[in-house]
Amino acid sequence: MIGSDLCKIIDQACRLVGVKDCNQCGKCCTNYGGGGLSASSAEIEWWEIHRPDIFSYVNDGEIWVSPATGKPLDRCPWLRKLPNRDKYICRIYHDRPDDCRHYPVRIEDMIRDDCEMLEHKDLANPRKAQRALDGLMVNSRPPVLS
Ligand code: SF4
Ligand code: SF4
């Protein structure tokens, strides 16, 4: 658990270089949820035991596959748009794949995906921005920069 002082410092650093909190725009899930994700065998085994509803969308190690047709889905089945808002939620947020948990990993990915955590005007120093992003994601994935 990060201490509150460290949280404040990371938050200030992120603001300085233009990396901000996720605003649930849903672009990453839309971009990757239909065939762009993978899951480890450990994740799949865990779903099989604890979340059979998620496991039902796994086929031969691939996600996400329609349980009804056995065909890959064009869109993630767990993505939901909030009524009357331009925001999205993940219905399996706490048990989502690590692929989703780790996003965004690199500043280049965010630029390509038009991720709204990024403020392009402040991208004069991508390395600094990557450090700030690594700080923001400290509880989700290992840092890109050591
Ligand atoms: S599982 Fe959740 S986080 Fe991952 S693509 Fe689907 S809605 Fe997004
Ligand atoms: S694209 Fe970026 S801002 Fe939008 S939901 Fe994904 S992580 Fe959040």
Report the pLDDT averaged over residues 56-62: 97
Residue 120 domain-assigned (yes or no): yes
Residue 7 domain-assigned (yes or no): no
Residue 141 domain-assigned (yes or no): no
Compare 58 and 117 and report the one with higher pLDDT: 58
Token couple for 53: 């509803």
Domain that residue 120 falls in: 15-136
100 CB contacts (<8 Å, ≥6 apart)? Answer: 28, 29, 32, 37, 90
| Ligand 1 binding residues, C-beta < 6 A | 29, 33, 76, 78-79, 90, 92, 96, 100
The number of folded domains in the chain is 1
Provide the pLDDT confidence category of residue 18 given band limits of 50, 70 and 90: low
Residue 10 domain-assigned (yes or no): no
The answer on pLDDT for 1 being more than 80 is no
- Ligand 2 midpoint to CA 88 (Å): 10
- The residue ranges of DSSP E strands in 9-140, in sequence order, are 58-59, 62-63, 79-81, 88-90
Residue 132 domain-assigned (yes or no): yes
Q: Which atom of ligand 2 is nearest to the CA of 24?
A: 5
Residue 113 domain-assigned (yes or no): yes
- Ligand 1 midpoint to CA 119 (Å): 23
- Ligand 1 midpoint to CA 29 (Å): 5
Task: Encode burial over 76-95: b for 16+ CB neighbours within 10 A, e otherwise.
Answer: bbbbeeeeeeeebebebeeb
Residue 24 domain-assigned (yes or no): yes
Residue 55 domain-assigned (yes or no): yes
- What pLDDT score does 128 carry? 85
Closest Cα to atom 8, ligand 2: which residue? 22
Instruction: Kindly give the interhelix angle for 4-17 and 126-136, rounded to the nearest 10 degrees.
Output: 150
Task: Tell me the ligand closest to 22's alpha carbon.
Answer: 2
46 CB contacts (<8 Å, ≥6 apart)? Answer: 95
Quote the pTM value: 0.84
In percent, how much of the chain has pLDDT > 90?
67
- Ligand 2 midpoint to CA 137 (Å): 13
Q: What is the mean pLDDT of the chain?
A: 87
Task: Tell me the ligand closest to 76's alpha carbon.
Answer: 1
- Ligand 2 midpoint to CA 26 (Å): 6
